[in-house]
Amino acid sequence: MPIEPRFRRSGGKTGGREPLPRLFVDREAHVDAVEAALERRDRSQPKVLVYYGIGGIGKSRLRRELRERPTKAEPEAVYAEVDFSLPSLRGPETALFALRRQLVERHHVGFPSFDIVYAHSWTQSRPNVTPAQEGSPLVRSR
């Protein structure tokens, strides 16, 4: 019988034991800064949070933690996110559409002006192709 560690950090065979949870530590200052920004009641400007830094320092984990915590100041906060590490989201057109899609699906926010401009931009950049032929995200298949 092979010798195995008593606890594992994630996945794999655990011999019926639960893997150890990954603890979220040493980020209290970051979480407090986000919550303080949300507590400011100035609604004239949207709040945008940008994560940046070298790979492996915990940006994705911090983002997940903040998304999962309901904030005290704004429990009904409307949010969307774009992960620019995904090459498919690096273009402005696809990034904006990804934000639009999330806001529509999560929060039922409508964007009729955006949809009109997006459709116009689509036809200008692809004059010989209809949105339905090329699979525009605004065209739903039935």
Average pLDDT value for residue range 93-103: 87
* Residue-range domain boundaries for the chain: 1-77, 81-142
Q: How does pLDDT run across 3-15, given as a tens digit for each residue?
A: 665 655 555 555 5
Given the structure tokens 């949070």, which residue do they identify? 49
Q: Whole-angstrom Cα distance, residue 110 to residue 10?
A: 40
For residue range 45-66, list pLDDT tens digits in order: 777 778 788 888 888 888 888 8
Which residues, 6+ apart, have CB-to-CB distance to 129 below 8 Å? none
CB 66 within 8 A of CB 34: yes
First-last CA distance in the chain: 56
- 8 near 20, Cβ under 8 Å? yes
